[in-house]
A = this chain, B = another copy of it.
Amino acid sequence: MNRKRVVIIGGGFGGLNAAKQFRKNNFEIIIIDKTNHHLFQPLLYQVATAALSPGDIAVPIRSVFRGKKNIEVIMSEVLSVNKNESYVQLEDRRIYFDYLIMSPGSSHSYFGKNEWEKYAPGLKTLNDALSVRENILSSFEEAEIEEDKNKRDEYLTFVIIGGGPTGVEMAGAIAEIARQTMLKDFRNIKPQETKIFLIEAGARILTAYSGHLSAIAKSDLEKMGVKVMTDAMVTEVSTNGVTAGGTMIKTKNIIWAAGNEASPLLKSLGADLDRAGRVLVENDLSIKDYPNIFVIGDAANIKNQNGELLPGIAPVAIQQGKYAARIIEREIPKGNREPFSYFDKGTMATIGKAKAVAMIRRFEFSQGIAWFLWTFVHIFFLITFRNRFRVMGEWILYYFTSRRGVRLITRRARK
């Protein structure tokens, strides 16, 4: 039986949902991911701020396809794609494909200054989140026993670079930690001693939202004690601290949440890329001249009917994954394919709005609609029942105790 083979790169929202479409056994599916798990990235900042555990927001990809004999999972990095000879190159082998769906995601951009990464780690993987958590908690521990006020200030100063949703969430969460959670845990450090900076190079934070929401978010963050610096480009990052907008901030805690650049793997496609490295796909999400190769998720540059670039968010990746998989499953030839059309069931606005409202109404977090909406929207998108059960559990406990549940330092890395 010579089944055709579909290789899917990436076990995120796009890749996972593409694989799930292949219900019948007439295709051989191989999913390749650098990690062994599917990660719910929107909640990663909660692992970084000790509110959730990795197991709450991640599930082994194998689990999702347990028992599905036609789906194989390989944990490996893909080094390049050879579109002419139809194979993907791994470290020590090639895997040939009849169809390829690329959903490799994106990583942070340090705008050319990659040496900054060691002082200002990003927040894209579970490993990142655990490192950030470790650093935050260790900083408080160091500050607790540090008698030199200057050194103590450096431990209690937190700088988040990037005013998008991730940066705003992190800044808000750290402010909460400093002012609520930690208050009774420590004896020598006072919440007022904690300084939190959110640095944005552009004119305002949350540029993807309306100016109105943006202003409310800024105001709420400031009420929580976060200093929001806009029009402040970062010019220097070192072990001593950050220089942005001409100001030098001494700190031991820098988190990078700025800039998205698409996976460098895409370069090997030899296709047209935009400035952020995303592939300019055709209206059926395939690349020019190769109707058997699709690029989806935030690795793809595609516009909606209004000519606006579709954002790199989960619902878009999910629909694209299903779309590409359906074309493959029915083996629809290029000429007969309906163009991809993102069906915005108001989801995007809903998530965006709920998230924005929840983010900015942190003080009123408990108040009815915003909280429930945000909670359930996130839980709805979590992939497994187990994850939903755990996250609901953690949030319920947090709601009643105001205490983040996972304030653990497990690695011995000290500053």
Contact = CB atoms under 8 A, between A and B. Distances in A.
Interface of A: 35-37, 53-56, 58, 60, 62-63, 66-67, 69, 72-76, 93, 125-127, 130, 137, 141, 144-145, 184-188, 386, 389-390, 393, 397, 401, 403, 405-412
Nearest to A35: B409
Contact of A63 (B60, B72, B145, B185): B185
A67 B36 contact: no
A406 B406 CA distance: 15
Contacts of A55: 53, 405-406, 408
A410 B130 contact: yes
A409 B76 contact: no
Interface centre among A126, A186, A389, A406 (most CB of B within 10 A): A406
A147 to B, nearest CB: 8
A36 B141 contact: yes
Given A36-B408, A54-B406, A386-B401, 6 more contacts: A36-B137, A53-B53, A58-B408, A60-B407, A60-B408, A127-B411
A330 B54 CA distance: 45
A14 B339 CA distance: 67
Contacts of A37: 408-409
18 contacts: A36-B137, A36-B141, A36-B408, A37-B408, A37-B409, A53-B54, A53-B55, A54-B406, A60-B408, A62-B185, A63-B185, A67-B184, A74-B144, A75-B144, A93-B145, A127-B410, A390-B393, A393-B393
